[in-house]
Each structure stands twice: as C-alpha cells, then as structure tokens.
Amino acid sequence: MTENIDKQAQNIVKLLRSVKMKISSAESCTGGLVSAAITSVSGSSEVFDFGICSYSNQIKHRILGVPEEHLKNFGAVSEQVAKAMAEGAMRISDSDFAVSTTGIAGPGGGTSDKPVGTVWIGICSRQNGATAHCFKFDASDCPEKLTKREYIRKQSVLKALELLEKEILNAL
C-alpha cells in the first residue's frame, strides 16, 4: 500500500509542477499523512502550499471556518464538514486545489451510523468548487504488519490522493 501512496503522490507532484499549480490540505483522521506523502516527493515545494492537522472541532471551526452548526448537526465525520474543511484550506491558502480528510480510524469512536472505518474525503478546486466522498474502509483484511487504525488511515490517504489526481485532471 505504501508503494501505491508514493506513486500517487509522485503523480500529483509531477502533474501540478507541469501546470504550475498548488495544493493544500486539511486533515483530521489522517493526521498529516496526506501532507507527508506529497512532501516526501522531491520538487513538492513548488506545488505544496500548506497542510493543517485540524484534529479538534475548535480548530476546524476557528482556523478552517467550518460552521459550528455543521459540527453540531452533522458531526465532524460528515459530508458537510469534509467540504467545509477543503473550502477553508482553499480560502486561507494560495492553492488551486485542496484535500480534506475526516473520519473514524478506530479502534474506538465508531457508532452504528458511523462505524470505525467511515471516512469523508473533501476535494476542492478553484474551478469546480468542493465535493465530498464517503468511504467505509474495512480493516478485517488488514495486513499483520499494520494495526487496523494504521490500515484505515493509509487507505484514506491513498483514496484522497486518487481523488485529488482525478480532480486535477478534470480541472485542466
């Protein structure tokens, strides 16, 4: 899985460098792993504007501008919050694209409505605005070398990078 993450990050950096565009990130459940994947690529300083680890609802609201009503009415793990996080990252950056992650990596914190493995990924571009996608990652087939939490987080990073690449290609 790490090889796939590295490949996706390399594709994104190469693509953004070729069109002289930038990206930013706002991460919760992935705790900066999307930013780390992108910035591990040589040349990423030309395309990566900033990343914020907005783990708390207070930071989601105060820094990214996620409406308190969204957090109260839908919860941090929701379409509305994922979109608002990506929009907030775009608003406070000089980037052309933004990605956000918010979810339940476990092992605790899940509910019947939002079980462990529920992750919302927000994608925002200056051209197309924000969208959010929900995933239910199943850690039952987790490789032995990873904890279920690590597996869900890595799956989230890979999916975020895949969605980001699609959005960049769609916006060109």
Residue 122 CA neighbour count, 13 Å, CB half: 31
Q: Identify the pLDDT of residue 164.
A: 96
pLDDT band at 18 (very low <50, low <70, confident <90, very high): very high
- pLDDT of 144 above 90: no
- pLDDT of 28 above 80: yes
Q: Identify the pLDDT of residue 119.
A: 98
Span 93-116, average pLDDT? 94
With a threshold of 0.85, does the pTM exceed it?
Answer: yes
- pLDDT of 139 above 90: no
- pLDDT of 1 above 80: no
Instruction: Tell me the percentage of the chain whose pLDDT exceeds 90.
Output: 88
Q: Identify the pLDDT of residue 142.
A: 84
Q: Around Cβ 20, how many Cβ atoms within 10 Å?
A: 9
Q: CA 117, CA 19: separation in Å to the nearest integer?
A: 34
Contact present, 86 and 129 (Cβ < 8 Å): no
Q: Identify the pLDDT of residue 117.
A: 95
DSSP 111-141: -SSS-TTEEEEEEEETTTEEEEEEEE--GGG
Q: What pLDDT, in 10s, does the model give residues 37-84?
A: 999 999 999 999 999 999 999 999 999 999 999 999 999 999 999 999
